Amino acid sequence: MAIDRLYLLSRTEEIEFEEQRSIRREVDAEFFKQGWRGSPSLVAGSARVIAIGVRRTTARIAEETWTIAEKEAPRFAADARKVAKHVRTRMVDFYRQRLMSDDGQLTPEDIMRACQELSEVLHNICNEMVDDLIYRSKPLPSSSLPERPDLDPFGPAETPRKIVRQAQCIDLDKLSTMLSEVRSLIGAARIDNTRRCALIHQIAAIEAFAERPNPHQAMLLSMMKRLPPALKMVRLDMAGSLVESFIEQPETVLGGDG
């Protein structure tokens, strides 16, 4: 079965967006509270938290790529590298902005050196992820991934093999109608254009997959299940509930194989 590159790219970009927010919150909460003062321990400690967060991000990107592409994962290593490079660049920029907002304890040279060191560390982390995707035949066991209590607040991703046991039969006509309604809600919402485009891309990927001859039902349902969390992330609760209601319909989850 052909892998939908746009869908995979939208999923890894969604992970990147979600993790960027988490890393920023973690760093600000621990190091950059009101009245903070620059010091070597703050510079090193905040960089370490960012590095841990980026390693967590790349681990999730790699795991998602393996889950969707399986043995074809090496083909998508270049896309994963682009997403990882984006998060690396954004995190170094974030780090620089925070260090520049201190009370004058840090010199421009200190800030430049700290940012260069962090950039090198993050560059190595991203390269390790790409090497894993290219040369490893399966993802690392979950026990070896970076720990974080709320790593995935929406629950673990379901693989097609786990989903297929439910023997779903999706009404493609109703799916098209439902996605059209969701698209309209996205168009009318006041949200960031980047997020709007990502959501539209995600819907387009589902529509394109559904239009194939005899689309794989388990994979289609897996793609649909990714949509509600992304919608609710930007407070499009009505649209998210619309998708969830469709997924939970008896004809969606109880259809037979014939």
pLDDT for 217-253, tens place per residue?
776 787 788 888 888 888 888 998 999 888 887 444 4
Q: Which structure tokens are listed for 165?
A: 């046991």
The alpha carbon dihedral of 221, 202, 15, 18 has a sign of negative
pLDDT digits (tens, 9 = 90+) for 81-112: 999 999 999 999 999 998 888 666 788 888 89
Residue 186 CA to residue 179 CA, distance in Å, equals: 10
Whether residue 185 contacts residue 239, with contact meaning beta carbons closer than 8 Å, is answered with yes
φ/ψ (deg, to 5) at 20? -55, -45
What average pLDDT does the structure give for the chain?
79
Q: What pLDDT is recorded for position 78?
A: 93
pLDDT digits (tens, 9 = 90+) for 133-150: 887 655 444 333 444 333
The pTM for the full model equals 0.54
| Nearby residues of 140 by Cβ (< 8 Å), 6 or more positions away | 59, 62, 63, 132
Unique residue bearing structure tokens 């039969």: 169
pLDDT of residue 184 exceeding 50: yes
Angle at CA 145, nearest 5°, toward 142 and 148?
105
